[in-house]
Amino acid sequence: MATKRLPIQQLQTKIQKLTKAYDKAVLYTLAKLGSYAKLEAIKNSKEQFTGRGQRTLTGRLMNSIFWKIDKFNGKDTAFVGTRGIPYGRLHELGGIVKPKRAKFLWIKSPFAAKKGSKFKNFTPKDFYLATKTDPSHYFYGGSFGTTGTAMYKRGKTIQALFFLKKEVWMKSRPYLRPAATSASGKFNEYFNSIYGDLFKE
């Protein structure tokens, strides 16, 4: 088979065209991957953080998810993350939660949090004030085996409204890492499609 020799200037032009198309394709691919990863992270957060009655618990977190292209080890790289949400990292990796100002964390009980409960919007401050005005119905106790329990008594029935904890462990519920992994698996598919189109220009 005969080989075709290109003049050096024509060869340089071809190489420049290939390089330009390659660099452009990389950036376009990263942008497409970043956008895809963001959508995947939002979808993951909806699946991971759903409360009673399919109520979404992470509106602020979902709105904080973003993507960007930045340098990593000198190379352009697509990143996905959260912005302005301190607990975004905690949800992703898990960890211990401790109170910042108060003595205890106040964890609302399933009884108080359930739909239709008159205590659904009840706050720790509301409970504290209730212990002062109506101590026969609102009081602290520890019979539920916790550090402390904020209780409500009606007749002979006693219900826990809040569990008081010095710290709680929040399990890892990753939503960013699976999104990044899923996006990286599409690099070759996106790049080959984009590069081929750019090289034809």
> Is residue 36 very low, low, confident or very high in pLDDT (cuts 50, 70, 90)?
very high
- Across residues 86-93, what is the average pLDDT? 87
Per cent of the chain over pLDDT 90 is 39
Angle at 72 between CA 69 and CA 76, to 5 degrees: 45
- Across residues 26-40, what is the average pLDDT? 93
Highest mean pLDDT among 24-28, 32-36, 186-190: 32-36
Which H/E stretch holds residue 107?
Answer: strand 105-108
182 phi-psi bin (left φ>0, alpha ψ -120 to 50, beta other)? alpha
User: What does the pLDDT read at residue 102?
Assistant: 81
Out of 18-22, 29-33, 79-83, 94-98, pick the least confident: 18-22
Rounded-to-integer distance, Cα 151 and Cα 131, Å: 10
User: What does the pLDDT read at residue 113?
Assistant: 86
Examine the pLDDT at 4 and tell me if it is beyond 70. no
Out of 9-18, 125-134, 175-184, pick the least confident: 9-18
Examine the pLDDT at 3 and tell me if it is beyond 80. no
DSSP for 110-168, written as a single string: HHHHSTT-TTTT--HHHHHHHHHH-TTTEEEE-TTSSSEEEEEEETTEEEEEEEEES-E
Examine the pLDDT at 17 and tell me if it is beyond 80. no
Nearest to 174 by CA among 95, 69, 60: 95
Supply φ then ψ for residue 28, to 5 degrees.
-65, -40
- Mean pLDDT rounded to a whole number for the chain: 84
What the block records as the tokens of 102 is 């108060």
Out of 49-53, 84-88, 155-159, 183-187, pick the least confident: 49-53
What the block records as the tokens of 147 is 């550090």
> Is residue 196 very low, low, confident or very high in pLDDT (cuts 50, 70, 90)?
confident
Q: Which residue has the higher pLDDT, 8 or 98?
A: 98
CB 158 within 8 A of CB 177: no
CB 80 within 8 A of CB 181: no
